[in-house]
Chain A
């Protein structure tokens, strides 16, 4: 009933929604890989344009996604500060004995963008792919890892269940926070001890409730004949079609050219 949380699947019929989950996962991996190995500006630009294109194609309101970035602003700020003072290079100015370097500022800005790309990329993936499809996609892509005795299916189901539960747990946390506040818990008290105590009053019951929910969900899934084994039917339903080949080919080509050739 409650409002949609960011990162939660939004039903839609756009081309992005229709793509095979595996395509989307691969593109995500490529994007993440590219920004990890290459800090150059044009890679960032390329990734940002790709993300912009996906947002437009997926018909998700850009404002909504941009607003959610605000939540990360402190993280961005902190990263920026650390990068700019901890990187050695040509000093721009200094405060006391702390020097801010040109390289540091540049690295700071690019790190912010890279974080943003990381965040947007995974958000878009989960917003346009239903958790069950995502699980099937992960499972099918990483199936070869099963030979190394990695429990691929369990892992993919875990991700799917986590995604499914994040909004519920946020909602639960909100209710518990309010309930304890109305018993006088102070979350913005000057005293750290009081704050920690108040947090505990939320976290302890939240943990209990989450375990209860997990237990309920497990019972509901089991009683619908889920046995914990991998499900070939659901995987075989995935269709890697023309659109996927096209999308994947295009994206990989552009990236290869940019990342390695220039």
Chain B
């Protein structure tokens, strides 16, 4: 088991629904996430994204197969703290993950659970708040913040454990476009500047165009995997009902009109540069 990565080996997860019924949420998945990557995870409702996220930090255990975080098996309950220290999680609803009515105290919750001493807790809070740009609001009450700010508090709370991996389960779905943009920019910065591995789950392809790798789940299986460009141009992607971001659709329509446009273009910035270079 390579250290410095998350590995899922032949993972299956079934939920018991009713007495004899079972629902297979993940079906024999094998997947590696390397340190430093920015991974986007997309898929239809019920395709198993949240299940995958919860498996990685040991909130649930696989029915079959193994999940390793930096070489530690999540089924090894003795090391569970170690695993969760490595894997920070952020959930969809910002209101449901805040434990304290003071931002600072909320961010301190993780380090305190880890048993850090006061000055170290403070150091970690300072860093986490500064990295998310929430420094000025540290004494505020989270419920008085906007949705986007609340999500950043949740990110700071995860960061204060100094995780290697940050897993975000639809963090943007309750935010306005401005808050969403800020959040994604913040994640990109954390990934580039601090080398934190990010796994971002979203229903919006615009959120994940900047990912190094895109994973598409379908009915508990990995349906497509590749760089966003590869995935967006795949025939299977369309036939499953997904649509790439508007700009990619636009470019592909232009190609159909006979323009020979660079295959690699998937963002607005790239397209602007491309046209200006012509």
Which A residues contact B (CB, under 8 angstroms)?
1-2, 8-9, 11, 130-132, 164, 167-168, 213, 216-217, 219-227, 231-234, 237
Q: Are B97 and A217 in contact (CB under 8 A)?
A: yes
Q: Are B84 and A132 in contact (CB under 8 A)?
A: no
Given A11-B102, A219-B91: A225 and B161 within 8 A (CB)? yes
**Residues of chain B contacted by A226 (CB below 8 angstroms):** 109, 113
Q: Are B100 and A223 in contact (CB under 8 A)?
A: no
Q: Which of A9, A221, A225 meets B85, CB within 8 Å?
A: A225
**Distance (Å) between the CB of B133 and the closest chain A CB?**
19
A216 to B102, CA, bound (A): 19
Mask of B64-93 contacts with A, CB within 8 angstroms, 1/0: 000000000000000011001101110101
**Distance (Å) between the CB of B51 and the closest chain A CB?**
12
Q: Are A237 and B105 in contact (CB under 8 A)?
A: no
B157 within 8 A of A: yes
Q: Which of B93, B95, B101, B114 meets A9, CB within 8 Å?
A: B101
**Distance (Å) between the CB of B113 and the closest chain A CB?**
4
A170 to B116, CA, bound (A): 35
**Residues of chain B contacted by A234 (CB below 8 angstroms):** 112
**Distance (Å) between the CB of B154 and the closest chain A CB?**
8
29 sampled A-B residue pairs with Cβ under 8 A: A1-B146, A1-B147, A9-B101, A9-B141, A11-B102, A130-B105, A132-B99, A132-B105, A164-B100, A216-B93, A216-B96, A219-B91, A221-B99, A223-B87, A223-B158, A224-B84, A224-B88, A224-B99, A224-B113, A224-B158, A224-B161, A225-B81, A225-B113, A225-B114, A225-B161, A226-B109, A227-B81, A233-B121, A234-B112
Q: Are A168 and B91 in contact (CB under 8 A)?
A: no
Given A224-B113, A224-B161, A225-B113: A1 and B97 within 8 A (CB)? no
**Residues of chain A contacted by B243 (CB below 8 angstroms):** none
**Residues of chain B contacted by A131 (CB below 8 angstroms):** 100-101
Question: B115: nearest residue on chain A (CB-CB)?
Answer: A233
B54, B99, B121: most-surrounded residue (chain A CB, <10 A)? B99
Question: A215: nearest residue on chain B (CB-CB)?
Answer: B96
Q: Are B59 and A223 in contact (CB under 8 A)?
A: yes
Q: Are B117 and A223 in contact (CB under 8 A)?
A: no
Question: B56: nearest residue on chain A (CB-CB)?
Answer: A223
Q: Are B100 and A132 in contact (CB under 8 A)?
A: yes
**Residues of chain A contacted by B95 (CB below 8 angstroms):** 168
**Distance (Å) between the CB of B148 and the closest chain A CB?**
11
B143 within 8 A of A: yes
Given A2-B143, A224-B110, 14 additional A-B pairs, CB 8 A: A1-B144, A130-B105, A167-B143, A216-B96, A220-B96, A220-B98, A220-B99, A223-B59, A223-B88, A223-B158, A224-B158, A226-B113, A231-B112, A232-B115
